[in-house]
Amino acid sequence: MNESVNIKEINEMIRQESSFVDIVSMEIGKVIVGQKHLVESMLIGLLSDGHVLLEGVPGLAKTLAIKTLAGTMNAKFSRIQFTPDLLPADLTGTMVYSQKSEEFAVKKGPIFANFVLADEINRSPAKVQSALLEAMQEKQITIGAQTFYLEKPFLVLATQNPIEQEGTYPLPEAQVDRFMLKVIIKYPQKEEERQIMRQNLAQKFPAPNAVISIDDIIKARDLVKQVYMDEKIERYILDLVFATRYPSDYKLGQFENMIQYGGSPRATINLALASKAYAFIKRRGYVIPEDVRAVCYDVLRHRIGLTYDAEAENITSENIITEILNTVEVP
């Protein structure tokens, strides 16, 4: 009985405290037409302190979306265009000699921001990619003998182009795992594209207003962790992840030779966190199975390694996740 009272209290508190989500979504909606899934994914990453990898052809407003999100909260935004000649110091910063003071001083790089857009991350060599991924994981950067902590919130949105693979350096599987979500961005609907066209031909392009503070986001992150998750939902999350590792145990023997490796414990943690953040966005203080299913593709698609057999039969990680969701019993 006490537990149900507590859930009621948590639900009421989350309902009140999550009201800013609608305001932020409205401000983003002024600039970004459609792309509801992209906006929700960015908010999940922001509220869960996780990073997002976006994949889509050029021109789908990936850069504009993160710039707009940063604009809704007066946060520092920086865009780094990844190129083959980029060096780690171009990201993190370096020591510069000052003739005036006759000593070396730290010149911070563009990674010192709240929102970092790593544009076409697969265009740069492994050394640069690992410098970014280290900063994402450790939330700190060492330049010379000094260590600097990155500001909160710190959110990396990296983009990669699925076409034009010539001269690119695909992210290794172990590094892709550092991203909480991998989001596939699709083309807009015809009516949405008509709005986009009109918006871009108008006299003045809309701009978002700053409607929340950085402190509000940090507070919201603590609230997301308080969202109630029942033991049955925990078991469901574990079953979904374990089904990617041991498909035969879940009546999915047809994938035994298709999966090279399944989701790591990081997949389990991120699936639970993303489910809580999704419930928060929907202004609920408890997680339901639909929340888990809503974020499952984005959390797991880059964490399932496929064998040559799967590629030969055109089986994708999305096909496997669909079968897992259809087979594993929903609580």
Better pLDDT: 157 or 192: 157
What is each CA distance from 203 to 36, 65, 192, in whole angstroms? 25, 21, 19
| 53 and 146 in a common domain | yes
pLDDT at 296 exceeding the cut of 90: yes
Domain end (from 160, 183, 215): 215
Rounded distance between C-alpha atoms, residue 39 and residue 62, angstroms: 10
pLDDT at 35 exceeding the cut of 50: yes
Number of domains in the chain: 2
First to last CA, the chain: 21
Residue 189: Cβ-neighbour burial (10 angstroms; 0-12, 13-18, 19+): exposed
Rounded distance between C-alpha atoms, residue 177 and residue 174, angstroms: 5
Report residue 121's pLDDT band, with 50, 70 and 90 as the boundaries. confident
Domain containing residue 314: CATH number = 1.10.8.80
Q: What is the DSSP letter of 286?
A: B
Whether residue 223 lies inside any domain: the answer is no
Q: Mean pLDDT, the chain, as a whole number? A: 84
Q: 162 Cβ partners below 8 Å, 6+ apart? A: 55, 56, 57
Q: The tokens of 320 are what?
A: 């496997």
| 78 and 37 in a common domain | yes
Whether residue 220 lies inside any domain: the answer is no
Q: The tokens of 67 are what?
A: 């710039």
Q: The tokens of 45 are what?
A: 């990453």
Whether residue 194 lies inside any domain: the answer is yes
| 182 and 296 in a common domain | no
Instruction: Name the helix (H) or strand (E) containing 270.
Output: helix 265-281
* For range 112-135, the mean pLDDT: 84
Burial 75-90 (b: 16+ CB within 10 A, else e): bebbebebeeebebeb
**pLDDT of res. 5:** 47
| 194 and 309 in a common domain | no
What is each CA distance from 220 to 14, 41, 235, 277, in whole angstroms? 9, 16, 26, 10
Domain end (from 168, 183, 215): 215
Whether residue 291 lies inside any domain: the answer is yes
pLDDT at 4 exceeding the cut of 60: no
Domain end (from 184, 215, 246): 215
Q: 110 Cβ partners below 8 Å, 6+ apart? A: 78, 79, 80, 91, 116
Whether residue 74 lies inside any domain: the answer is yes
Report residue 168's pLDDT band, with 50, 70 and 90 as the boundaries. low
| 146 and 27 in a common domain | yes
pLDDT at 15 exceeding the cut of 60: yes
Whether 129 contacts 26, CB under 8 Å: no
Whether residue 250 lies inside any domain: the answer is yes
| 246 and 196 in a common domain | no
Q: Which of 325, 262, 269 is nearest to 296 (CA)?
A: 325
* For range 87-105, the mean pLDDT: 80
| 234 and 150 in a common domain | no
Q: Please report the sign of the dihedral spanned by the C-alpha atoms of residue 238, residue 242, residue 243, residue 244.
A: positive
| 92 and 36 in a common domain | yes
Rounded distance between C-alpha atoms, residue 307 and residue 259, angstroms: 6
* For range 209-215, the mean pLDDT: 84
pTM of the model: 0.85
| 236 and 206 in a common domain | no
Least confident of 86-95, 98-107, 113-122: 98-107
| 232 and 169 in a common domain | no
Whether residue 62 lies inside any domain: the answer is yes
10 Å Cβ neighbour count for 173?
13
Q: Helices in 32-61 by DSSP H: which ranges?
A: 36-48
Whether residue 11 lies inside any domain: the answer is no
Report residue 163's pLDDT band, with 50, 70 and 90 as the boundaries. low
| 200 and 159 in a common domain | yes
Helix (H, G, I), strand (E, B) or coil at 211: coil
Segments forming the whole domain that contains residue 21 = 17-215
| 272 and 145 in a common domain | no
Q: In terms of C-beta distances under 8 Å and separation of at least 24 residues, what long-range contacts does 35-39 make, across chains too?
A: 35/60, 35/61, 35/65, 35/185, 35/188, 37/183, 37/185, 38/62, 38/65, 38/183, 38/185, 39/65, 39/69
Helix (H, G, I), strand (E, B) or coil at 111: coil
* For range 233-247, the mean pLDDT: 92
**pLDDT of res. 2:** 41
